[in-house]
A and B are shown apart, each in its own frame.
Chain A
Amino acid sequence: MIQRHSGPRRPSLVASDGLRAEPPVQKRPEIPRPTFHDMTSRLSTIERAPVFFTFPEDALRAIARRVRRVRIPAGEMVLCQGEVGDTIFFIERGRCRLVVEKPPSIVTVAVLSEGDFFGEGACVLGRSQQASVYAQTECYLLALDRQSLHAVMAGREGDGMDELRRLAEQRFSLFADISVQATWGQLLQEATVIGVYSPKGGSGGTCISLNLVGALARRYPGEVLLLDLDFPYSHSALLAGLVPTSCLARIASVPQESFEDVLLSTVLYDSGGPMILPGALRPEEADEVTPELLNKAIAALRKTFRYIVVDLGVTITDSTLALFDLTQHVVLIAAPELSAVKSAADAVDILSRLGTPHDRLTVVLNHRSEKPAVSKSAVERALKRNVDLEIAFDGIRPEQAAVDGAILSITNPKSEIAQGAEALAAMLDAKHARSRNPVESSSVSGGIAEHVVQPS
């Protein structure tokens, strides 16, 4: 009986010119062999790839000869989830984002760069594409189709094909787990976490966070929380006219069983609807807010609220990075000043490297002066993307509101800041809105079980 993984398998066929009865009418030109430098470049990409670096030298050379180079412009789709596929793509240059679309959410499961590869699940395991792949930047990919892979690996199954299959299985499970974990909050109808990041101090990040929470709280009273992580000095409570007595940092050592109760008792309630949880009251307490504590706190808060807006401040720390992983949406605040625009451009780049999907990032241009030094079009050119929302100069109203301890989106809805916050809330709500309670949705459609939920 023939063993599947042993012995000579596919014939090596060499066309013999002497046997030709008649020359073909028009011979297809030979596929050009890669040049020395091209081969070197291909080899160095394939050699870096996981599993492939274990392949024997001659197999790698054969693969390098057979791959074809494909250029993908930034933003283009490379593979589509659910479709069949037969090719492994090595990333020679650029970055690709793998997303699993599980309506209503889109989960980024990986961001791959030079030396990585994707498409192995469809190519090696014969499954449909598990994730859609988009080029984040302009990419040069080396495409290795199934036929070429089999032709090269024929007769040497033990040399790495099993490893490749194992890796494909492993990645398949990993991506499935990640996508499920990322969507479980939505499936369980838990809070949407929105990070507000302002890469330059004085851009109005805290002011916009506070007013955004106010605007959302007008829609969903008692269901919106502002988590203030603008370290080292957290001023959200002060700006809202509230006096904090505790903070997230101070409950770090609370035992697990009572953590949720203590956490909720730390939340400050504003009469207008929004709630505020200070991260730290003193600068030295900021170090107590660790990524682990944040994970624990967000997990607990998501069960209670509809929206959690996190004021991320200016600095990027471990806690900020941990929060970026937990957010479903990021709002980036830019001011029309040279240094602020430069910082915002860097921040957009960092966020895209972290795998924040393009549609889950909203750029807000906040005018802090009557005559901006940098125009909107110049900001857009620097950011290489459109500004989603522009907030006009609002005079001294924000400063006056801070002195009065008022939130403009609640007390003065006609002010520019309030209108901007309202527009931002509408954008976010359109993207992340959901019916929290099945009874609520039945009240919309009417029918026998018509119950209207009164806001608490």
Chain B
Amino acid sequence: MLAPVAAIQRARDGVRRAAVRRRLEAVASGKATSTSGTFDEPGVDVAGVIEEITVGLKTDSLPMERLVVALTNSGAVDRMIEGLEAKSAHHRSAGARAIGALRIYEAVPSVAPLLASRERPVSDAAARALGRIGGAHSAGALLFALQRRGISRRLVAELARGAPDLFIEAALAQPQKPGARPALALAAGLRRRRTATSQLTALVRGGSRRERVISCRALGWIGATTAIPAITEALYDREWKLRVSAAKALGALRARDSRHEIHYLLADRNPRVRAAARQALRQIEAG
């Protein structure tokens, strides 16, 4: 049970938060034009409120434009930018979240360095912000972080979300550090764009072990039926993870022509391969 003082404080914070939310909603709907002092409310997670209001809003939508203009005119956006360089991890992540929610593309150079932060909440907030903002610069920053850190689920997911057309495909075609290419293949799979099919197929045929495993799954997610021959060849690989991945991909692709090859895996020495083959055959039969 909360102590009375803490309960009262919490209630006050709740009232302030509601007031901030009402003000921002009024701006977004065009009923008000100014939001002075909004970002300085003590005890209120303003970044969270902004995130709530902007969920589902498009970058070029009118409510979003109104919010950005009002917050810029009130100086709140400048304080968000300054907050990105604060000592407190809380302030830095709050600034990044708010900037991401408002999709301020011009702030990408200020948010990008936070990806290298040792504090996980800060780097995650920065990655989320860049993923939400999108565009070539955001994707470039995320790719640079991936090259440095290798596969990170947050970075891969945000790169898949924020990368512009052909960004990942072009990056896959260029020389990359060993850890980056599997991450890119994963991001290409998560994006589910058929334009990445040829790059991923090339990786299935000639990539490293990890790249081949991930590319198979990615092709399955994309639904790239043209890659079925390459994936079917991977069923005979010595590496069990690749056999599992290929079986799963063929199941996802409903590759009826590869049934016999998958059937052969039911006698595989590895139980995971056998399980994956069984599951794939079930998917194919289900059509």
Q: Which residues of B contact A77 (CB under 8 A)?
A: 194-195, 197-198
Q: In the complex, which residue of chain B has the Cβ closest to the Cβ of A129?
A: B165
B112 touches A28 (CB 8 A): yes
A141 to chain B, nearest CB (A): 8
Q: In the complex, which residue of chain B has the Cβ closest to the Cβ of A133?
A: B195
Q: In the complex, which residue of chain A has the Cβ closest to the Cβ of B108?
A: A147
B116 touches A26 (CB 8 A): yes
B116 touches A24 (CB 8 A): yes
Q: Which residues of B contact A28 (CB under 8 A)?
A: 112-113, 115-116, 141, 144-145
Q: Which residues of B contact A25 (CB under 8 A)?
A: 116-118
Interface status of B133 (Cβ within 8 A of chain A): yes
Query: For the complex, what is the distance from the CA of A218 to the CA of B195, rounded to whole Å?
Result: 42
Q: In the complex, which residue of chain B has the Cβ closest to the Cβ of A81?
A: B194
Mark interface residues in B91-114 (1 if CB within 8 Å of A CB, else 0): 000000000000111110110111
A143 touches B81 (CB 8 A): no
Q: Which of the 9-residue segments A1-9, A50-58, A380-388 touches chain B?
A: A1-9
Interface status of B271 (Cβ within 8 A of chain A): no
B16 to chain A, nearest CB (A): 25
Q: In the complex, which residue of chain A has the Cβ closest to the Cβ of B103?
A: A147
Interface status of B269 (Cβ within 8 A of chain A): no
Q: Which residues of B contact A126 (CB under 8 A)?
A: 58
Query: For the complex, what is the distance from the CA of A447 to the CA of B24, rounded to whole Å?
Result: 66
A128 to chain B, nearest CB (A): 12
Q: Which residues of B contact A26 (CB under 8 A)?
A: 116, 148
B197 touches A87 (CB 8 A): no
Q: Which of the 9-residue segments B45-53, B69-77, B234-242 touches chain A?
A: B69-77
Query: For the complex, what is the distance from the CA of A4 to the CA of B106, rounded to whole Å?
Result: 19
A145 touches B134 (CB 8 A): yes
Cβ < 8 Å to B, chain A residues 9-55: 9-13, 15, 19-22, 24-29, 31
Q: In the complex, which residue of chain A has the Cβ closest to the Cβ of B92?
A: A21
Which residue of A7, A12, A83, A145 contacts B164 across the interface (Cβ within 8 Å)? A145
Which residue of B33, B141, B145, B164 contacts A2 across the interface (Cβ within 8 Å)? B33
A9 touches B68 (CB 8 A): yes
Interface status of B86 (Cβ within 8 A of chain A): yes
A406 to chain B, nearest CB (A): 43
Q: A66-B136, A151-B105 in contact; A11/B77 too (CB < 8 A)?
A: yes
A13 touches B33 (CB 8 A): no
B87 touches A10 (CB 8 A): no
B166 touches A13 (CB 8 A): no
B65 touches A87 (CB 8 A): no
B112 touches A10 (CB 8 A): no
By the criterion of a CB under 8 Å from any partner CB, how many residues of chain A are at the interface? Answer: 46
Query: For the complex, what is the distance from the CA of A9 to the CA of B117, rounded to whole Å?
Result: 30
Which residue of A21, A83, A143 contacts B86 across the interface (Cβ within 8 Å)? A21
B136 touches A15 (CB 8 A): no
B133 touches A147 (CB 8 A): yes
Query: For the complex, what is the distance from the CA of A86 to the CA of B164, rounded to whole Å?
Result: 6
Mark interface residues in B124-136 (1 if CB within 8 Å of A CB, else 0): 0000000001111
Q: In the complex, which residue of chain A has the Cβ closest to the Cβ of B67?
A: A2
B72 touches A11 (CB 8 A): yes
Interface status of A303 (Cβ within 8 A of chain B): no
A6 to chain B, nearest CB (A): 10
Q: Which residues of B contact A402 (CB under 8 A)?
A: none
B78 touches A11 (CB 8 A): yes
Q: A15-B110, A31-B140, A76-B198 in contact; A147/B193 too (CB < 8 A)?
A: no
Which residue of B33, B65, B107, B167 contacts A9 across the interface (Cβ within 8 Å)? B65
Q: Which residues of B contact A83 (CB under 8 A)?
A: 193-195
Q: A80-B193, A87-B165 in contact; A145/B135 too (CB < 8 A)?
A: yes
Q: Which residues of A contact B138 (CB under 8 A)?
A: 147
Interface status of B19 (Cβ within 8 A of chain A): no
Interface status of B137 (Cβ within 8 A of chain A): yes
B130 to chain A, nearest CB (A): 11
Q: Which residues of A contact B65 (CB under 8 A)?
A: 2, 4, 9
Cβ < 8 Å to B, chain A residues 123-145: 126, 141, 143, 145
Q: Which residues of B contact A145 (CB under 8 A)?
A: 134-136, 164-165
Query: For the complex, what is the distance from the CA of A27 to the CA of B198, rounded to whole Å?
Result: 33
A413 to chain B, nearest CB (A): 33
Interface status of A70 (Cβ within 8 A of chain B): yes
Q: Which residues of A contact B140 (CB under 8 A)?
A: 31
A2 touches B30 (CB 8 A): yes
Interface status of A79 (Cβ within 8 A of chain B): yes
Query: For the complex, what is the distance from the CA of A143 to the CA of B117, rounded to whole Å?
Result: 31
Query: For the complex, what is the distance from the CA of A143 to the CA of B113, rounded to whole Å?
Result: 25
Query: For the complex, what is the distance from the CA of A21 to the CA of B118, rounded to whole Å?
Result: 15
Q: Which residues of B contact A436 (CB under 8 A)?
A: none
Query: For the complex, what is the distance from the CA of A148 to the CA of B103, rounded to whole Å?
Result: 12
Q: In the complex, which residue of chain B has the Cβ closest to the Cβ of A119?
A: B165
A82 to chain B, nearest CB (A): 9
Q: In the complex, which residue of chain A has the Cβ closest to the Cβ of B133?
A: A147
Interface status of A78 (Cβ within 8 A of chain B): yes
A15 touches B109 (CB 8 A): yes
Interface status of B25 (Cβ within 8 A of chain A): no
Q: Which residues of B contact A296 (CB under 8 A)?
A: none
Q: A13-B106, A119-B165 in contact; A20/B85 too (CB < 8 A)?
A: yes
Q: In the complex, which residue of chain A has the Cβ closest to the Cβ of B145?
A: A28
Q: Which residues of B contact A147 (CB under 8 A)?
A: 59, 103, 105, 133-138, 164
Q: Which residues of A contact B195 (CB under 8 A)?
A: 77-80, 83
Q: Which residues of A contact B135 (CB under 8 A)?
A: 145-148
Mark interface residues in B192-224 (1 if CB within 8 Å of A CB, else 0): 011101100000000000000000000000000
Q: Which residues of A contact B144 (CB under 8 A)?
A: 28-29
Interface status of B170 (Cβ within 8 A of chain A): yes
Mark interface residues in B20-47 (1 if CB within 8 Å of A CB, else 0): 0000000000100100000000000000
Q: Which residues of A contact B68 (CB under 8 A)?
A: 9-11
Mark interface residues in B56-67 (1 if CB within 8 Å of A CB, else 0): 001110100110
Tell me which of B78, B85, B109 has the highest count of chain A C-beta atoms within 10 A of its own C-beta.
B85
Interface status of A273 (Cβ within 8 A of chain B): no
Interface status of A68 (Cβ within 8 A of chain B): yes
A68 touches B106 (CB 8 A): no
A5 to chain B, nearest CB (A): 10
Query: For the complex, what is the distance from the CA of A386 to the CA of B60, rounded to whole Å?
Result: 48
Mark interface residues in B160-195 (1 if CB within 8 Å of A CB, else 0): 000011110010010000000000000000000111
Interface status of A150 (Cβ within 8 A of chain B): yes
- Lowest 4 CB-CB distances: which A-B pairs, in order? A147-B135, A24-B113, A145-B164, A87-B165
Not counting A10-B104, A87-B165, A126-B58, a sample of 9 additional A-B residue pairs whose C-beta atoms are within 8 angstroms of each other reads A4-B65, A10-B105, A11-B78, A70-B166, A77-B198, A78-B166, A145-B165, A147-B103, A148-B105
